[in-house]
Every structure is written in structure tokens, then in C-alpha cells.
């Protein structure tokens, strides 16, 4: 499928306009909460979901979630408008719009959820919808492969995250994030280290930290609007959001500091070099996203005001310039037919608006004053100097920022002001729906830099308070903070970055040689998946034998082992049940049932086994009659009659039992039957021995006549209080009866046809 639009195709489709309008309205909805949240008053909504498990569909708007919600909806509206024009005339555009809008709603649920179980549900929804978006060009094997890679890797991290969430909820006695964070650090909990590992696995796979980074550049198989959205404000920031949200309860320990500092710094520097290595501008931007994610992770390792302010400021500016640059690359690709850095050049003459938007985004990315990127870099250096591992973090941050300066020149300066190569088609300015996003985002990066107090008061400082879990002093986001060490580090960054840009072609060749000798984790993924599939096939051949007897044996064996383990692991006390009060009739029925069960196991005739099984069923019905449950006994007898009739007809078409095989399996089956029967009996005896809770019984006794106007309590429960359940049971019986009728009718027709042929 072609990614670009047909220039002559109408782009104002209902799907495109509806998704854009709804997303813009959501942005305005969240915008109205800025003054409330900035004043330190978070907003919370709670809808009971599974009250018995303390799981609510609760939503929480504080500084952190509001910043993300505004980025998701604000950038989302621009991306959806852009996509409507970019993919105009695409035969599958309506499907694309549905996927993108669903992804936006999933991301909103993720950042707003206050319950960890609800957060996990939205977390996995983003995984699933991003899979659909990455694999949108489903006829392309590469798109399908990369989409599956992203799905499997992030879903595996999601399972680890779910385990961590369950452990947090059990240890803290609540699944509400606001309550968990309000209780303080979990560091003293016995399972803190395991919880931390599980949460970090979820966050690192989602935000593509080394060594889980390779899926993110491969996600570039998605159309450009998807790349712009995933890399700026949504999917890949999910892991960063999780680390920021869990900061009050998980941060502060040595394990947290070292894990986030090392993984974040390594990811940032590695990705920066890899960005310099690329020639496809879209791939270049993909690796700069990795750099940003590593930087954000690195600064979230800290617990000081400057470190968290650095993370939140950089998060905001990165979302603005990264979305703008991706959308700009899409315009360039749309207009010229290529994204290759070695070919693009001199576009400022024919694409002046696109060039201006690219310049604004690149200046913010390079950290040039007066853009917000400069402030973010200054605060980042100030935060790095306050962190425990500053001797490691400061040089790593400097290398990453210097490389980003060079990459900004590659993606924005060279295509518009460098020498031009042979372009596939004559360049032209992009249409306004595709230019609105890059221009708006570039202007915002400049305005937030010129007027830093506005962004700090309404966005950055409330987010910092939310991450720290306490009110912070603020006042760190300034365009000019004086002559200090962070300013000196910024000047060094500019100098080193300019030198790297001048030498980037030579560096690219050297990096290519190094990359050729380095382990290829992406190819390793293919090998892993291939061997995993081979193992799965072997496992399937061993487990899925197609023999029903083996399946039943395995099921009952697992049941017996797990229940026995529970009995051994927990002290259930002694039983007070007595068998001395049983009457002679009751003993007689029990012996009848036992005799029938033994005969089922020992016989080699199917008909005899069927009759013996019927004896067991009749014995159970007699027990119901003796204990004053005639209606249940009638049901039991009817079921037994139906089973006997159906099986008898089926046995007529089946071969005789293999008596030799039956003897081979009889001992193991008999042992298992005795064990399962004994275990089940013990469970029932312990249940019977438990003091009877009459609360439900008293309710039905009191409400049977007054509310349902019936004196037969059992009938009232079935017909009135459990209406849908009873209706479902009746439907099952009716379906079974219709199936039996069809089976018998078909058997009669087949026999008649056979007789006619004779």
C-alpha cells in the first residue's frame, strides 16, 4: 500500500474530520483544568468496577497526568488533521483513523488511570493499538514483522508489570495509585526489590531502553503520522510516565538510582551515536527519540527538585520538537519523494514555510536560546550536578546533548540549506493541513522559551510536584540563570556539537564499520523467535497428543496436586465431622454409588460402563431425595436419562474397547481417581465443617414473599433472583435437546438410506 496521498483525492472525509474535532474538543476539555491543577487541587473521578477486589475505574488529574493529557490530545489533533491530508485517497484510511483514535483514547486512559489494574488494561490497549498502527501496511512483510516484534516485546514487559502491580496492591492493601504514593516509599517492604524489577521491566520495554531498544526504530514501518505521534507524546513515553508516576513509592533506593542512571545514560549515548549513523531522516529521528527516553529515565533516577524539573522540562520540549520534526519530514518526503540525507538539500527556496518550521524545531532540539530547549538543557545540567552519580551522569548528558546538536543540523539545516542532490521529483510546499502542526509546535517551543513562567506555572511545576509527591519550591525554569557551571557546559555542548556536525560524514563511516562488527540484537530477535517457535512445536507434539484420555488425566492430576499442596501448605485444623449418625439407608446408597464407580473403572464394556455410571447418577439423586431436595433430584435423573440415551446411540457407532489398552491405563487411572475423589471429599468435608453463614439465607427467606410473592424459596431464587442465570441454563438445555434431536434424526435418515440401497 502506498503511504502517501493522492493529490487530487478529497481529504475532508467524515472519519478524518470527526477524529480531529473530537480530539481537539478533548484538548479544550483538559485545558480548563490548568488553573485548578496549578493551584494544587487535583481532580479525581471514581466508578466502581470490581468492588469485591477493590478495583475501580478511577481517574486522577494532577500536574503529571494533565501535562500528558494535553500533549496527547493537542498533538493528537494536529496529527489527525495531518493524517487526513497525508493519507487522502488511501483505500484503508477509515481503518487507519479508527486505529489512531483508539490509540489516543488508550493513551489517555493510561495517563489518567488512578487504579493500577485499570492502568494495566489501558497499558495493554496501547500495545494492541500500536501493533495495528505499526502493521497498518499489512501487505508488506516488513511491517507485519516489525509490528509483531513491538507487540511481543512490550506485551512481555506488560505481563511483568501486571505481576508487579498485583504485588503492590497486596502489600499496600489498595490498588489506587494516589493512595499508594501517599503512603510513601515501598523500600522497606519485603518484596520491594522484586516489585522494582517487575515495574522496571514493564517501563524499560515500553520506553525502549537498552537492551530492549531495537523495536523502536523498526516501528518506523508505520506511516509518518503514526511515527510522529508514537515518538512525541504517546506510546514510547508510556514507560517514562510510569517511572514518573511510581516515583514517590519506588524511588530513593540504591537499586532505583543505579538502574535508571545506568540504563538511561547508556541508552541516551548509544542512541545519539546511532542517530548520527543513519542516512534516512526518519530513522535518524527514531534514534533521537531513544536518546530522549534515555535522558528522561536518567533524570528520573534523582529525587531533587532540579533533577525532576529537568525531566519534566525536557519531556515537554521533546514532545514539541519531535512531533514537529517528524511531521516536517513527512512533508519533505511527500513533496520530494525521498528522506535520504545525502540527497536532500536547498529546499528553503521552494518550501520556505516547512523550512521555517524545521528550523524552529531543530533550534529547540539543539538547545539554542531563546527556545525552551535551551532552558531544558540548562536545568538538565543543573539537575545532573545535584545527583548522586553526577560524575557519571554529567559527561554522559554532555555527549548526548552535543550529538543532538549535530543531529539537529543533519535533519533540519542540511535538507533546506545544504547542497541539493538528484531528487525523485520537483519539490513544492506542503498543503496547510500538513503545515499547521509543525508551524504551531515550532512557535510553541519559541513562546515557552521567551515566556518560561507561563509553561512553568501551568505545566512543569505542577508535574514536578506530582512526581516528587510533595509541593516543590519551583522557580528553576528561567531563560537566563546567570553565569554558572550549567551555562559553561552548554557552551561546551555547542562547540562539541558543531564540531561533530562538521565531521558527521566521517563519523558516520566509522560508526558503520563499528556497527558491522557489533552484535545485531534485531537479527538476534529473529533467531530467538525462530527457536522459540521450534520449541513450541516440540512442546505441542508432546502435550497436544489428540488423545482425550491424556488431556483429562493431566487436568485432574494438576487439580489433585494443587489442592493437595494447599492442604499441606496451610494448617486447616482438624475435622469435626462424624459419620456415626448415618442411617442404614444412607450407607446403602453410599455403597451403591461406590459399587457403580468401581464397575466403571474395571469393566471392558462400554455399555456396562454406561449403566454403571447411570447407577452412580441415580445414587446421587437418591441422596438429594433423602435430604429434601426433590426438584434437584428430578433434574439429576433427567440429566442421567439424557446422557444415557445420547451415549448409547454414540456407542453403537464406536468400536469395542481395547481391553489390553484399558488394563494398561487402569492402574494409573484408578490411582488418580482415588486421589481426586479423596481430595474432593476432604474439600467438601472442610466446607461442611465450616460454620454456616446465614446472611444470604436470611435475605432470601425475608424477601421471597415480600418482594417476589413466592413461598417456594428455591423456585423464587431460580425464577426471580437468578433470572438471567436460569435463562442461560434453560438455553443450554434447549440447545442440547435440539442437538440431540438433530443427531437422532440424522441417524435415522442414514439408516433408512442404507436400507434403501440394500
Q: Which of 482, 502, 522 delimits the end of a domain?
A: 502
pLDDT of residue 659: 54
Q: What is the DSSP letter of 457?
A: I
pLDDT at residue 321 tops 90: yes
How far is the C-alpha of 373 from the C-alpha of 360, rounded, in Å?
10
Written as one string, the DSSP assignment of 55-67 is EEEEEEESHHHHH
pLDDT of residue 65: 95
Give, in degrees to the nearest 5, the angle at Cα 532 between 270 and 196.
50
Neighbour-count burial of 172, counting CB atoms closer than 10 A to its CB (0-12 exposed, 13-18 middle, 19+ buried): middle
What would the mean pLDDT of 206-231 be, rounded to a whole number? 88
pLDDT of residue 2: 46
How far is the C-alpha of 666 from the C-alpha of 646, rounded, in Å?
25
**pLDDT digit string, tens, across residues 91-126:** 889 999 999 999 999 999 999 999 999 999 999 999
What would the mean pLDDT of 523-537 be, rounded to a whole number? 89
Q: Which of 250, 280, 315 delimits the end of a domain?
A: 250
Say if residue 84 is in the same domain as residue 155: yes
How far is the C-alpha of 611 from the C-alpha of 634, rounded, in Å?
18
How far is the C-alpha of 165 from the C-alpha of 390, rounded, in Å?
31
Say if residue 170 is in the same domain as residue 291: no
- pLDDT greater at residue 200 or residue 739: 200
Helices (H), 337-389: 352-366, 372-386
Indicate the helix (H) or strand (E) that contains 45. strand 43-50
pLDDT at residue 4 tops 80: no
pLDDT of residue 656: 65
Q: Which of 447, 476, 502 delimits the end of a domain?
A: 502
Say if residue 350 is in the same domain as residue 405: yes
Say if residue 246 is in the same domain as residue 277: no
Say if residue 246 is in the same domain as residue 293: no
pLDDT at residue 662 tops 70: no
What would the mean pLDDT of 630-641 be, rounded to a whole number? 82
How far is the C-alpha of 428 from the C-alpha of 85, rounded, in Å?
15
pLDDT at residue 675 tops 50: yes
235 with 155: CB under 8 angstroms? no
Neighbour-count burial of 702, counting CB atoms closer than 10 A to its CB (0-12 exposed, 13-18 middle, 19+ buried): exposed
Q: Is residue 489 part of a domain?
A: yes
Candidates 96, 104, 91, 84; CA nearest to 132 is 96
What would the mean pLDDT of 213-226 be, rounded to a whole number? 88
Written as one string, the DSSP assignment of 567-614 is HHHS--------STT--HHHHHHHHHHHHHHHHHHH---HHHHHHHHH
408-412, 417-421, 531-535, 672-676: lowest mean pLDDT where?
417-421
How far is the C-alpha of 541 from the C-alpha of 20, rounded, in Å?
50
Q: Is residue 747 part of a domain?
A: no
Q: What's the grid cell of residue 62?
A: 494532577
Binned at pLDDT 50, 70 and 90, residue 43 comes out as: very high
Say if residue 288 is in the same domain as residue 404: yes
What would the mean pLDDT of 546-558 be, rounded to a whole number? 88
CA distances from 717 to 104, 269, 473, 722 (A): 45, 67, 62, 6
pLDDT of residue 233: 74
Give how many domains the chain has, as a whole number. Answer: 2
- Most confident listed range (13-22, 64-73, 502-511): 64-73
**pLDDT digit string, tens, across residues 368-404:** 999 999 999 999 999 999 998 999 999 999 999 999 9
SS (H, E, C) 6-37: CCCCCCCCHHHHHHHHHHHHHHHHHHCCHHHH
Candidates 33, 57, 32; CA nearest to 45 is 57
Q: What's the grid cell of residue 754?
A: 442404507
What would the mean pLDDT of 650-656 be, rounded to a whole number? 71
Say if residue 311 is in the same domain as residue 227: no
Q: How far apart are the first and last CA of the chain?
A: 61
Q: Is residue 511 part of a domain?
A: no
Say if residue 278 is in the same domain as residue 221: no
- pLDDT greater at residue 582 or residue 590: 590
pLDDT of residue 464: 95
Q: Is residue 492 part of a domain?
A: yes
**pLDDT digit string, tens, across residues 286-319:** 999 999 999 999 999 999 989 999 999 999 999 9
pLDDT of residue 1: 40
pLDDT at residue 503 tops 60: yes
pLDDT at residue 514 tops 80: yes
513 with 422: CB under 8 angstroms? no
Q: Is residue 86 part of a domain?
A: yes
10-19, 347-356, 608-617, 642-651: lowest mean pLDDT where?
642-651
pLDDT at residue 230 tops 90: no
Q: Is residue 12 part of a domain?
A: yes
Cα 651 from chain centroid (whole Å): 49
Q: Is residue 754 part of a domain?
A: no
| Burial state string for 418-455 with b = 16 or more CB within 10 A and e = fewer than 16 | bebeebeeebebbbebbbbbbbbbbebbbebbeebeeb
Say if residue 312 is in the same domain as residue 395: yes
What would the mean pLDDT of 740-758 be, rounded to a whole number? 73
How far is the C-alpha of 176 from the C-alpha of 170, rounded, in Å?
11
80 with 23: CB under 8 angstroms? yes
Q: How many alpha carbons fall within 13 Å on the CB side of residue 449? A: 27
Written as one string, the DSSP assignment of 255-295 is HHHHHHHHHHHHHHHHHHHHHHH--BHHHHHHHHHHHHHHH
Say if residue 148 is in the same domain as residue 275: no
Q: What number of other Cβ atoms are within 10 A of residue 115's Cβ?
A: 27
What would the mean pLDDT of 200-214 be, rounded to a whole number? 92
What would the mean pLDDT of 9-15 be, rounded to a whole number? 78
Structural domain that includes position 306: 264-502
Say if residue 169 is in the same domain as residue 281: no
**CB within 8 Å of 630: residues ≥ 6 apart:** 624
pLDDT of residue 694: 81
CA distances from 516 to 457, 509, 544 (A): 48, 11, 43
86 with 4: CB under 8 angstroms? yes
Say if residue 107 is in the same domain as residue 188: yes
What would the mean pLDDT of 11-40 be, rounded to a whole number? 92
Question: Rg for the chain (alpha carbons), in Å?
Answer: 34
**pLDDT digit string, tens, across residues 254-274:** 999 999 999 999 999 999 999
Q: What's the grid cell of residue 380?
A: 538538565
Number of H helices, E strands in the chain: 33, 2
**pLDDT digit string, tens, across residues 330-371:** 899 888 888 888 888 888 889 999 999 999 999 999 999 999
pLDDT of residue 311: 95
312 with 253: CB under 8 angstroms? no
Query: What's the mean per-residue pLDDT of the chain?
Result: 88
Place of cell 511545576: 461
pLDDT of residue 6: 62
pLDDT at residue 21 tops 50: yes
Q: Is residue 650 part of a domain?
A: no
Amino acid at each position: 500500500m502506498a503511504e502517501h496521498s493522492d493529490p487530487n483525492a478529497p481529504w475532508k472525509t467524515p472519519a478524518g474530520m470527526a477524529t480531529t474535532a473530537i480530539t481537539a474538543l478533548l484538548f479544550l476539555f483538559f485545558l480548563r483544568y490548568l488553573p485548578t491543577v496549578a493551584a494544587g487541587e487535583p481532580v479525581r473521578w471514581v466508578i466502581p468496577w470490581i468492588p469485591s477486589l477493590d478495583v475501580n475505574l478511577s481517574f486522577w488529574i494532577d500536574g503529571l497526568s494533565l501535562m500528558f493529557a494535553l500533549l496527547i490530545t493537542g498533538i493528537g489533533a494536529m496529527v489527525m488533521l495531518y493524517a487526513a491530508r497525508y493519507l487522502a485517497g488511501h483505500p484503508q484510511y477509515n481503518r487507519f483513523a479508527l486505529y489512531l483514535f483508539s490509540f489516543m483514547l488508550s493513551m489517555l486512559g493510561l495517563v489518567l488511570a488512578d487504579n493500577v489494574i485499570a492502568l494495566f488494561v489501558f497499558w495493554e490497549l496501547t500495545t494492541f493499538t500500536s501493533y495495528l498502527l505499526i502493521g497498518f501496511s499489512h501487505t508488506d512483510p516488513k511491517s507485519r514483522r516489525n509490528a509483531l516484534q513491538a507487540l511481543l516485546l512490550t506485551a512481555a514487559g506488560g505481563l511483568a508489570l501486571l505481576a508487579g502491580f498485583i504485588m503492590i496492591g497486596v502489600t499496600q492493601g489498595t490498588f489506587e495509585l494516589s493512595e499508594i504514593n501517599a503512603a510513601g516509599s515501598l523500600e522497606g517492604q519485603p518484596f520491594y526489590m522484586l516489585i522494582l524489577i517487575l515495574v522496571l521491566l514493564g517501563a524499560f520495554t515500553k520506553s525502549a531502553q537498552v537492551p530492549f531498544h531495537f523495536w523502536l526504530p523498526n516501528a518506523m514501518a508505520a506511516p509518518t503520522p503514526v511515527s510522529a505521534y508514537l515518538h512525541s507524546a504517546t506510546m514510547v513515553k508510556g514507560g517514562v510516565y510510569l517511572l514518573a508516576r511510581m516515583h514517590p513509592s519506588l524511588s530513593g533506593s540504591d537499586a532505583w538510582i543505579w538502574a535508571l542512571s545506568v540504563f538511561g545514560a547508556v541508552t541516551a549515548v548509544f542512541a545519539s551515536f546511532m542517530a548520527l549513523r543513519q542516512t534516512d531522516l526518519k530513522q535518524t529521528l527514531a534514534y533521537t527519540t531513544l536518546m530522549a527516553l534515555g535522558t528522561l529515565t536518567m533524570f528520573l533516577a534523582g529525587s531533587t527538585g532540579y533533577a525532576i524539573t529537568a525531566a519534566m522540562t525536557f519531556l515537554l520540549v521533546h514532545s514539541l520538537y519531535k512531533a514537529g520534526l517528524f511531521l516536517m519530514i513527512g512533508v519533505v518526503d511527500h513533496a520530494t519523494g525521498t528522506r535520504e540525507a545525502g540527497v536532500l538539500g536547498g529546499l528553503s527556496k521552494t518550501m520556505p514555510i516547512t523550512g521555517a518550521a524545521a528550523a524552529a524545531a531543530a533550534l529547540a532540539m539543539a538547545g539554542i536560546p531563546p527556545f525552551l530547549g535551551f532552558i531544558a538543557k540548562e536545568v538538565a545540567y543543573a539537575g545532573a550536578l545535584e545527583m548522586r552519580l553526577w560524575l557519571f551522569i554529567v559527561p554522559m548528558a554532555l555527549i548526548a546533548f552535543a550529538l543532538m546538536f549535530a543531529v539537529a543540523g543533519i535533519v533540519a539545516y542540511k535538507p533546506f540549506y545544504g547542497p541539493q542532490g538528484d531528487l525523485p521529483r520537483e519539490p513544492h510546499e506542503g498543503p496547510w493541513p500538513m503545515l499547521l502542526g509543525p508551524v504551531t509546535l515550532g512557535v510553541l517551543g519559541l513562546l515557552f522559551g521567551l515566556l518560561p513562567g507561563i509553561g512553568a506555572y501551568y505545566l512543569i511545576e505542577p508535574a514536578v510536584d506530582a512526581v516528587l509527591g510533595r509541593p516543590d519550591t519551583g522557580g528553576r525554569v528561567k531563560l537566563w540563570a546567570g553565569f554558572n557551571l550549567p551555562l559553561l557546559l552548554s557552551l561546551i555542548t555547542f562547540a562539541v556539537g558543531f564540531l561533530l556536525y562538521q565531521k558527521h560524514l566521517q563519523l558516520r563511516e566509522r560508526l558503520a564499520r563499528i556497527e558491522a562488527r557489533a552484535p545485531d540484537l534485531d537479527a538476534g530477535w529473529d533467531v530467538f523467535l525462530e527457536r522459540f517457535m521450534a520449541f513450541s512445536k516440540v512442546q505441542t507434539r508432546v502435550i497436544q497428543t489428540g488423545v482425550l484420555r491424556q488431556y483429562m488425566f493431566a487436568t485432574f492430576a494438576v487439580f489433585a496436586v494443587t489442592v493437595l499442596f494447599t492442604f499441606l501448605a496451610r494448617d486447616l485444623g482438624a475435622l469435626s465431622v462424624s459419620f456415626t449418625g448415618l442411617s442404614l439407608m444412607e450407607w446403602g446408597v453410599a455403597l451403591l454409588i461406590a459399587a457403580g464407580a468401581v464397575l466403571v473403572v474395571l469393566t471392558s464394556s462400554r455399555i456396562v460402563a454406561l449403566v454403571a455410571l447411570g447407577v452412580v447418577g441415580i445414587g446421587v439423586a437418591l441422596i438429594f431425595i433423602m435430604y429434601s431436595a426433590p426438584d434437584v433430584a428430578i433434574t439429576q435423573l433427567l440429566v442421567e436419562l439424557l446422557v444415557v440415551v445420547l451415549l448409547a446411540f454414540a456407542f453403537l457407532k464406536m468400536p469395542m474397547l481395547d481391553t489390553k489398552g484399558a488394563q494398561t491405563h487402569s492402574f494409573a487411572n484408578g490411582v488418580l481417581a482415588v486421589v481426586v475423589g479423596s481430595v474432593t471429599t476432604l474439600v467438601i468435608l472442610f466446607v461442611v465443617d465450616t460454620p454456616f453463614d446465614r446472611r444470604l439465607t436470611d435475605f432470601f427467606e425475608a424477601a421471597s414473599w415480600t418482594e417476589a410473592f413466592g413461598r417456594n424459596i428455591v423456585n423464587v431464587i431460580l425464577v426471580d433472583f437468578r433470572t438471567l442465570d436460569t435463562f442461560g441454563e434453560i438455553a443450554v438445555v434447549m440447545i442440547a435437546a435440539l442437538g440431540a434431536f438433530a443427531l437422532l434424526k440424522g441417524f435415522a435418515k442414514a439408516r433408512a438410506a442404507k436400507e434403501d440401497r440394500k
